[in-house]
Amino acid sequence: MLGFIRTVGWRMVSIVYELGGIAVFGSQMVYQTVSPPWRLRRVIDEVYNTGVLSLAIVLLSGTVVGGALGLQGYITLERFGAESSLGGLVSLSLVREFGPVLTALLVAGRAGSAIAAEIGAMVATEQLDGLRMMSVDPIDYVGQPKALALTFSMPLLSALFIVFGLGGGYLVGVGLLGIDGGAYITGVERNITFSDEVVGSILKSVVFGALVALISTWRGFSSAPNAAGVSRATTGAVVQASVATLMFDYVITALWGG
């Protein structure tokens, strides 16, 4: 019994310790981001790694999710004879929730894990120590471009997810289930307001981008310098980034939607 309490206590302390660590790391990262050099060349390379390489999975998933929403929405709305409102349902779901959240989860899995693995491998092979010995701060040289690129790519990917999702909904609703195309499109356009939905959606995806970026780089930098450590860092990055995204999603929805 005592052992159990001790374990719980130890867990709590180590969580606080972790949070402290990531807070310090986060502030260093922010400082590096706003101070020169900005390493544009490396940021662009990283936008390729995080954004372009995530396009395939984001666009595919967007279309499929849009289609699923279309199908599910139709089944539900048909009961009330309200099939013509499908456009509104699909667009609101995508813009408000599914776009930013699912994109963040997908990117965490694809790009976040890659970042953690790459940085972790650099720790294990002493490359980061090498940088330190050349008087270069690894957070500045390695971490900042990756984090900046991912945060920048996230809202773009989210928007593309939503657009392809709307297309997927159209294909299923209009193409498959025979809803009037005009009603779908009008439903889409009428129900989204810029200041409410779109701004909230962009805000969410930027916040999620920063979260995934911070957690992935942090996991990489703090990984143990061996193969097992890198593997732990990679899976840890995906899990923690995903959980953080979902938690912040709730908070933002609660604060924004009111």
Contact 229, 108 (CB under 8 A): no
Binding flag, residue 1, other proteins (CB under 8 A): no
- The tokens of 168 are what? 């997927």
State which residue, 71 or 82, has the beta carbon closest to other proteins: 82
Binding flag, residue 5, other proteins (CB under 8 A): no
Q: Which member of 189, 243, 247, 251 binds other proteins (CB under 8 A)? A: 189
DSSP-assigned letter for residue 82? -
Binding flag, residue 155, other proteins (CB under 8 A): yes
Residue 37: cis peptide before it, omega within 30 degrees of 0: yes
Q: Who's near 48: CB < 8 A, 6+ residues apart? A: none
Q: Which residues within the stretch 65-104 sit at the binding site for other proteins (CB under 8 A)? A: 80, 82, 84-85, 88-89, 91, 95
Residue with the two structure tokens 């990283």: 46
What is the Cα–Cα distance from 19 to 236, expressed in whole angstroms? 14
Q: Which residues within the stretch 128-147 sit at the binding site for other proteins (CB under 8 A)? A: 129-137
* Backbone angle region of 39, left / alpha / beta, with phi > 0 → left and psi within -120 to 50 → alpha: left
Binding flag, residue 24, other proteins (CB under 8 A): no
Q: How far is the CB of 250 from other proteins (least distance, A)?
A: 23
Residues that bind other proteins (CB under 8 A): 41-42, 44-45, 47-48, 51-52, 55, 80, 82, 84-85, 88-89, 91, 95, 122, 125-127, 129-137, 153, 155-157, 159-160, 162-163, 188-195, 197-198, 201-202
